[in-house]
Structure 1
Amino acid sequence: MSALSILLLATCSTWMTQAQTEFKRVAGANLTLPCHHRLHLLNQTSLDIEWLLQNSEADPKVVITYGGGHIYYPDLNEEQKGRVSFASNFRNGDASLEISFLQPSDAGAYICKVKNAGNYEWTHITLKVLEKPSKPKCWKEGELSEGKEIILQCNSVSGTKPIIYTWQRIIDEEGKAGSFPPMTRINFSNPAQIIMKNLTRLASGSYQCTATNEAGKDSCVVQVSVQYARNFGLIAGAACGAIGVLFLIFLTVWLTIRRNQKKKYEEEESPNEIREDAEAPKARLVKPGSSSSGSRSSHSGSSSTRSTANSASRSQQTLSTEATPHITPTQHSQVDTDGREIEPKKINHTNLVKIEATSAMVPAQSRAFQTV
């Protein structure tokens, strides 16, 4: 350093320079904020550098400092800790600040203050961190049938304002744009919406919304499929018909099961019932001369009568009032006046049962024959 330079610096009690610049960067990028000074020409031991950030109405925060030969990272700004550093040889006049992986919180007004031997240099920088729009969400509202109206909407939940939304119709897989169907308009009060009236099947297709700002853009796609109005009636009719068929099948199966159960129940109960038209036991005639045979027949007849009486309990009340009929031991064929043989009358089974029940009540000695 020349003596003249030292003299000039010594004569100036205060040396202040100011520079005002502005930077715009996208979030996630790296950035270097420039700060060049000439105070390094003075005494190196008294050189002092300080970076400040003011991103609100509060007092500025200290980002990084150098003094007394050491670099300090104060705890006043935890959000930037580990992401800020001096970019170059700050002792030789380049006190630029490097910020890595920018975040929206890094935006604000930066001040680079360099001091040495009572002299100051100031650098003012405004940083804007731009955030790309988040992936927008597309959806539709309304009834997708002919003659109806729907609204297509789009929204990005984050991103640097302002965000501009644009809609276009995609007509092929390569993303080629096509014209909107008739009766389609943009909602100017909310450009993220488009209104489609008087729908027809020609309105079916893919619609893309793109959200754009200074940092970039992103998009989403929504599908529109317009149905014939009568299709809903057909679908409802088909659904009702299917339900009716299932109900009939269920009813048929249920009735079949019930009928089988009833039939099985009747078959299990039928052996315990006596049929009125069942064939009565046959009678046999015994001669009165055989006492031993009569006694046995009387005993057998009584047993048979008791069995028959038990099985025909409902008819015994009327039988007890009837007279005991006379039973002919043998029946001979008769011949009419023309010489033809007449068949004997047949005894009805029901009357036979009544006769057997009555004969059991008469003593064996008063009858010529006994029914067994």
Structure 2
Amino acid sequence: MSHAQTVFKRVAEANVTLPCHHRLHNLEPKSLDIEWLLEDSEADPRVVITYAGGNIYTFLTEEQKGRVSFASNFQAGDASLEISFLQPSDTGLYTCKVKNAGQYEWTRITLKVLEKPSKPKCWKEGEMSEGKEMTLQCNSASGTKPITYRWKRVIDKEGKTGSLPHTAQINLSNSAQIMMKNLTWTDSGSYECTAFNEAGQDSCIVQVTVQYARNLGVIAGAACGAIAVPALVFLTVWLTIRRKEKKKYEEEESPNEIREDAEAPKARLVKPGSSSSGSRSSHSGSSSTRSTANSASRSQQTLSTEATPHITPTQHSQVNANGREAEPKKINHTNLVKTEATSAMVPAQSRAFQTV
């Protein structure tokens, strides 16, 4: 009898050969019987492969169908078992039993199929601002337990890593989590989490950017500026257009005001001594009055020119109360001209009003 027992550890999807050597093949070759059994924690022992009566039986378990076989010449003393493309379900205690001519030998081997951690997922929780605190977490969904997590800081683009900042503290009960308190801008950067076990490892990276507290006001000011600048430009353009429109309006209205003001002095040229009907006339009557005044002025000049040569001073001898002969009065030619001009003006004005 043989009671050897060893432990084999293999990575999932790899191949393994479980050794089983015996010395019973020389006894009765036709009565040789070989059997591999698997014991795991979930089911009763089951047959993996067997040789009996000169035949090999391998399709005994659905999980290992087509993946198990004898590795060598089992009839010559090597009944080793080969399992290909290992799965986590292949883990367990394997027993190799060999019997022939009433004699027994067996070998026990513990097989552990190790599955390396799946690609972990990294994420962050908390507020990434100066003075605040945040948590970095990492988790691998599958893999052989136990899985250990290790955090490092990425220093450069080549992937070189270094130690964590002094603000980071690893959660002792869960190495997949680190806490960072009283954040500063120096804590910004890339952080790498590596999940590993006996089968292998894999990693992920999370980016941390700590915001400056004073930058929040700058950002808010920039946002307000972005809104205020277009509004200021619009207001400037609008005021410019309004100023041009106002200037254009004043230029258009200025000549009209001058023409209206120009007629006012002409209306005041009419003398108060004119006919009462002229003073009660309308704006058109005022214009007629000005025309009549101009005609009268020309008539006055004509009469003064024509009347002057024909006027001669006539002397009349008058006797005063004392019986003396008074001296003849001298005629004032200036008064005479004014009197005749006034006489000539009145009929001309009358004709002017009649025409109007």
TM range (shorter): 0.5 to 0.7
For 2:76, the equivalent position in structure 1 comes to 92
Structure 1 CA distance for aligned equivalents of residues 104 and 123 of structure 2 = 58
- Name the counterpart of 1:33: 18
Q: Quick one: structure 1 residues 250 and 35, their matched pair in 2 at CA, closer, same or farther if it must change by over 3 Å?
A: farther
Give the C-alpha shift of residue 57 in structure 1: 4.4
Aligned CA distance change for structure 1 residues 157 and 117 (closer, same or farther; 3 Å): same
Match status 1:178 vs 2:162: yes
| 1:109-128 equivalence runs, <5 A | 109-128=93-112
Instruction: State the SS of the aligned residue for 1:239.
Output: helix
Contact 1:62/1:74 (<8 A) preserved: no
Do the aligned residues in 1 keep the contact of 2:2 with 2:107 (CA within 8 Å)? yes
Is structure 2 residue 65 aligned with structure 1 residue 59? no
Residues 1:249 and 1:103: Cα distance change in structure 2 (over 3 Å): farther
**CA displacement, residues 229-279 of structure 1 (integer Å, 9 cap, x when unaligned):** 23233334443554577789999xxxxxxxxxxxxxxxxxxxxxxxxxxxx
Structure 2 residue 324 is the aligned partner of structure 1 residue 339: no
- The CA deviation at 1:169 is 1.1
Aligned to 2:271: none
> Offset at 1:204?
1.0
Alignment partner of 1:192 is 2:176: yes
- Give yes or no for contact 1:53–1:110 (8 Å, CA) kept in 2: yes
Q: Is the 8 A contact 1:152 1:194 kept in 2?
A: yes
SS at 2:152 equivalent: strand
Task: Give the corresponding residue for 1:68.
Answer: 53
Question: 1:48 aligned to 2:33?
Answer: yes
Which range moves more in the overlay, 190-199 or 237-246? Answer: 237-246
- Write the letter of the residue equivalent to 1:234: V
Q: 1:122 to 1:229 in 2, by over 3 A?
A: same
Gaps of 5+ in 1: 1-15, 252-330, 348-372
Q: Are the equivalent residues in 1 in contact too, given 2:59–2:66 (CA < 8 A)?
A: no
Matches of 1:228 and 1:339, distance apart in 2? 101
Question: Mean alpha-carbon deviation: is it higher for 241-250 or for 114-123?
Answer: 241-250
Aligned residue in 2 for 1:103:
87
Contact 1:133/1:159, CA 8 A, preserved across alignment: yes
Q: Name which of 122, 131, 152 aligns with 2:115.
A: 131
Q: For the residues of structure 2 that align with 1:92 and 1:344, how far apart are their CA atoms?
A: 160
- The aligned counterpart of 1:153 is 137
Higher-Rg structure is 2
Once the two structures are superposed, what CA deviation does each residue of 1:307-336 show, in whole Å capped at 9, x if it has no partner?
xxxxxxxxxxxxxxxxxxxxxxxx9x9888
Aligned residue type for 1:339:
M
Q: Distance in 2 between matches of 1:231 and 1:123?
A: 72
Q: Distance in 2 between matches of 1:18 and 1:103?
A: 27
Specify whether residues 250 and 70 from structure 1 end up closer, same or farther in structure 2 by C-alpha distance, changes over 3 A only: farther
Q: Give the partner amino acid of 1:101.
A: F
Q: Distance in 2 between matches of 1:154 and 1:192?
A: 5
Q: In structure 2, the residue corresponding to 1:339 is in which secondary structure?
A: helix
SS at match of 1:95: coil
The Cα shift of 1:30 comes to 0.9
The CA deviation string for residues 25-82 of structure 1, in whole angstroms up to 9 with x for no partner, is 111211000011111111111111111111124221211111111111234x111111
Pair 1:250–1:99, CA change in 2 (3 A): farther
Q: Is the 8 A contact 1:111 1:125 kept in 2?
A: yes
SS in 2 for 1:158: coil
TM-superposed deviation, 1:346: 11
Query: What does 1:214-229 correspond to in 2, within 5 Å?
Result: 214-229=198-213
The number of residue pairs the alignment matches comes to 254
Distance 2:217 2:58 in 1: 73
Question: TM-score, length-normalised on structure 2?
Answer: 0.64
CA separation of 1:231 and 1:119: change in aligned 2, threshold 3 A: same
Contact 2:120 2:195 in 1 (8 A): yes
The more displaced of 237-246 and 172-181 is 237-246
What's the TM-score, normalizing by structure 1? 0.62
Separation (CA, whole Å) in 2 of partners of 1:344 and 1:135: 117
Distance 1:218 1:83 in 2: 28
* Corresponding letter in the other structure for 1:146: E
